[in-house]
Structure 1
Amino acid sequence: MKHTKLLALLLSAAFVAGCAGMNQGSSSESGQRSTGQVVDDAAITAKVKTALLADPEISGLGINVDTSQGAVRLKGEVKSVAHFQKAGSIAEGVAGVRSVDNQIIVCMTCK
């Protein structure tokens, strides 16, 4: 009787331990990013924002920059297609940027 209870306890523990480890894939599979990736993305975001602010035509246009795994997304509103293109080009030229998703809206009547 003691052996049966011990065996049941061991099997239960093994089952629970196995289930706990089933959902542990790589961080990229589960959508989680490592601390290093988050820091790298923050650095890329800062570099892109700095580059945009350094350009006299783009500075002050209020373009938002988000980065995930080196992929940069630009959002905001500009008054010309030239500004739209230039912002994308500036972002593409920053070290560490893998791709640019330029979601900036060209709005001729915006403030």
Structure 2
Amino acid sequence: MKQIRNFLTLLLLAITLASVIGCSSTSKQESTGEYLDDSVITTKVKTAIFNEPTLKSAEINVETFKGVVQLSGFVNSQNDINRAVEIAQGIKGVTSVKNSMRLK
């Protein structure tokens, strides 16, 4: 009976360890929690850009990886680029902004 209990304890420990390792992130892969956080950040940035009347939100793409927001697309002016970057930087959870936007 004691051997069975020890075996079950060891099995439970192994399963717990495997699940923790499986949910951790690497430099090139996000954990589930980070993915959800990044999805929220992306949505907030897109919404803020959409609500900015001077920007055409359909022309700006937003992607987030581990809190780093990347903006891409084609815009009409340098002012549009600067404003989009400024908006993204103002969102809670954004650690930095990479600007890949280009002028038309």
Partner of 1:28: 26
1:17-57 alpha-carbon deviations (Å, 9 max, x no partner) = xxxxxxx7x5225x221110000000000000000000000
Larger radius of gyration: 1
Give the alignment partner of residue 60 of structure 2, picking from 63, 71, 87: 63
Which consecutive unaligned segments of at least 5 residues does structure 2 have?
Answer: 1-20
CA contact (8 A) 1:53 1:60 kept: yes
CA distance in 1, matches of 2:90, 2:26: 25
Partner of 1:91: 88
Superposition TM-score, scaled by structure 1 size: 0.69
Spell out structure 1 runs of 4+ moving beyond 6 A: none
The alignment's C-alpha RMSD in Å is 1.9
Give the alignment partner of residue 104 of structure 1, picking from 91, 96, 101: 101
CA distance in 2, matches of 1:60, 1:67: 16
Q: Secondary structure at 2:26's aligned position in 1?
A: helix
Which consecutive unaligned segments of at least 5 residues does structure 1 have?
Answer: 1-23
Shift of 1:62: 1.6
Shift of 1:106: 1.2
CA distance in 2, matches of 1:44, 1:76: 18
Partner of 2:45: 48
Q: How many residues align?
A: 84
Superposition TM-score, scaled by structure 2 size: 0.73
More strand by share: 2
Q: Secondary structure at 1:104's aligned position in 2?
A: strand
